[in-house]
């Protein structure tokens, strides 16, 4: 209500100033109209024409006596004089005549012209008119026209002075209206600024209160979210562990099953040495299974940020030979070529995890390539990094799927009919990144794939 007490009178003042401005503007338009009509100048011209025609009629009458003017010229001059007197009786000249107070004199002159016309008509011919009588009629007409011309000139000057004063007064009114409107507008603007500032302060107080409430709600919900996140993380780790076990443990279990089936079917055909070799392979597969359990459990914990990697200096070539030998046991018919560096490639790593990466990549190379093709494993050292490349000549990876190949559970479109769960490359990529390395690949569909990874070289080569 307090704000309205300021705005209402100010608004009324602005409306008043606007009305004053409109009034002054209308006055200016009217003055301009009067100036453009030029009534005084037109009136002066009409009086001058009437006076001029009266003189010319008198000259024609005198000329007729001297045989210098014809009867037709006399009648023409009389008609023109009559029209000039009649023009003074018509608007807008009639208004000006009334303004000068000369209406009766114009009427009297009109009657004089009628009397002159009667005098000319009564004569045998216009040239026979009594010149003295005609002069007696024309003399007052000329006198009145001269006086009216003088009055018109004086009246026009007075009118111009009055118009100038009215125009100046209108300009003053316009200036006053503009100044008043500006002052009222400035006052309103000042009040609006104050109101806006007060509104901003109130809004800021509301925002601060809202932030305080949001903080309270956020602190309480964070505890609930943390509990839910912990529960979800535990479920995810457990689910990831079970999925990884089902994917990665098939190979050692298959070896154990294969050896056991051979012993069961033909036990009598195996010698003691062969049985011992079979037992060794079962034990080796069991040990590998145990290593896989330990490694996968460790990766699940790493994924949750619970433990650190157990790094120690180890020769990458030994890891690659072990992985190649393990795959050769399960796939003896596949040809695996080793092109390893002549010197040990010592790097700080968790050997079980890096061997798991090599097993995954070799297993994929075997799975997705023809039995007659060669799997090539190459290692080298470059810029203090231990590098490895595993190549095959298999089905390759479609270009449209290459950006998602390291996503968990993702499988390329041309591999959907082959056995797999889409976990091996995701697990390998995570292990290499955790070791500070990079896992890349180059693949052409229907031609083959090469996976390359590198690890930081160890500074302590003596421990190899």
| Helix pair angle (103-122, 71-87), 10° resolution | 160
Q: Is the peptide bond before 92 cis (omega within 30 degrees of 0)?
A: yes
**What pLDDT, on a 0 to 100 scale, did the predictor assign at position 47?**
80
**What pLDDT, on a 0 to 100 scale, did the predictor assign at position 277?**
77
* Residues 198, 45 contacting (CB under 8 angstroms): no
* Angstrom distances, CA of residue 53 to CA of 80, 86, 107, 381: 7, 13, 17, 128
**Torsions phi, psi of 315, nearest 5?**
-80, 120
* Residues 331, 373 contacting (CB under 8 angstroms): no
pLDDT in tens, the chain (464 residues): 454 555 577 667 667 666 766 766 666 566 555 555 445 556 777 788 888 888 888 888 888 777 777 888 888 888 888 888 888 777 777 777 777 777 888 888 888 888 888 888 888 887 788 888 888 888 888 888 888 878 777 777 777 777 677 777 777 777 776 777 777 777 777 877 888 888 888 888 888 888 888 888 888 888 888 777 766 754 664 465 455 556 556 666 777 777 777 777 777 777 877 777 777 777 767 766 765 665 556 556 656 665 467 889 999 999 999 999 988 887 888 999 999 999 999 999 999 889 999 999 998 999 999 999 999 999 999 999 999 999 999 999 999 999 999 998 788 888 877 766 677 898 899 899 989 999 999 999 999 999 999 999 987 644 33
**Which residues is 438 bridged to in the sheet?**
454
The strand pair at 374-382 and 346-349 is best described as unpaired
**Global confidence as pTM:** 0.43
Q: How far, in Å, CA of 428 to CA of 441, rounded?
A: 12
* Residues 397, 445 contacting (CB under 8 angstroms): yes
Helix (H, G, I), strand (E, B) or coil at 339: strand
Residue 119 corresponds to which tokens in the numbers above?
């005098």
Report the alpha-carbon angle 349-457-356, nearest 5.
Answer: 30
DSSP character at residue 307? S
């Amino acid at each position: 209500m307090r704000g309205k007490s300021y705005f209402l009178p100010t608004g009324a003042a602005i409306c008043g100033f606007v009305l004053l401005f409109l009034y002054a503007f209308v006055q200016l338009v009217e003055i301009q109209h009067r100036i453009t009509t030029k009534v005084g100048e037109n009136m002066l011209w009409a009086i001058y024409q009437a006076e001029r025609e009266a003189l010319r009629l008198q000259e024609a009458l005198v000329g007729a006596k001297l045989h210098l003017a014809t009867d037709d010229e006399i009648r023409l001059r009389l008609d023109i004089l009559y029209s000039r007197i009649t023009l003074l009786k018509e608007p807008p000249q009639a208004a000006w005549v009334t303004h000068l107070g000369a209406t009766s004199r114009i009427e009297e002159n009109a009657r004089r012209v009628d009397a002159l016309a009667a005098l000319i008509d009564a004569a045998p011919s216009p040239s026979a008119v009594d010149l003295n009588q005609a002069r007696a009629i024309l003399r007052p007409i000329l006198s009145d026209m001269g006086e009216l011309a003088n009055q018109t000139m004086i009246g026009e000057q007075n009118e111009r002075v009055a118009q100038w004063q009215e125009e100046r007064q209108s300009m003053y009114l316009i200036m006053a209206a503009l100044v008043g409107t500006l002052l009222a507008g400035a006052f309103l603007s000042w009040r609006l600024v104050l109101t806006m500032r007060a509104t901003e302060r109130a809004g800021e107080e509301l925002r601060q209160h809202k932030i305080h409430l949001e903080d309270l709600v956020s602190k309480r919900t964070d505890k609930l979210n943390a509990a839910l996140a912990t529960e979800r993380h535990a479920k995810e780790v457990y689910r990831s562990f079970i999925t990884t076990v089902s994917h990665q443990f098939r190979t050692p279990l298959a070896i154990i099953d294969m050896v056991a089936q051979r012993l069961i079917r033909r036990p009598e055909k195996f010698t003691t040495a062969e049985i011992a070799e079979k037992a060794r392979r079962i034990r080796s597969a069991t040990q590998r299974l145990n290593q896989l359990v330990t490694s996968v459990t460790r990766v699940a914990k790493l994924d949750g940020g619970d433990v650190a990697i157990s790094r120690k200096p180890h020769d990458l070539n030994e890891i690659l030979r072990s992985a190649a030998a393990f795959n050769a046991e399960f796939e003896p018919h596949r040809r695996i070529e080793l092109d390893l560096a002549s010197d040990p490639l010592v790097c700080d790593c968790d050997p079980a995890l890096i061997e798991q990466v090599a097993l995954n990549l070799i297993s994929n190379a075997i799975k997705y390539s023809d039995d007659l093709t060669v799997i090539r494993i190459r290692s080298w050292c470059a810029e203090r990094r231990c590098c490895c490349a595993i190549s095959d000549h298999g089905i390759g990876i479609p270009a449209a799927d290459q950006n998602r190949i390291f996503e968990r559970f993702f499988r390329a479109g041309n591999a959907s009919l082959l056995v797999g769960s889409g976990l091996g490359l995701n697990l390998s990529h995570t292990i290499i990144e955790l070791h500070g390395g990079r896992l890349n690949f180059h693949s052409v569909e229907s031609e083959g794939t090469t996976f390359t990874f590198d690890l930081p070289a160890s500074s302590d080569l003596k421990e190899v």
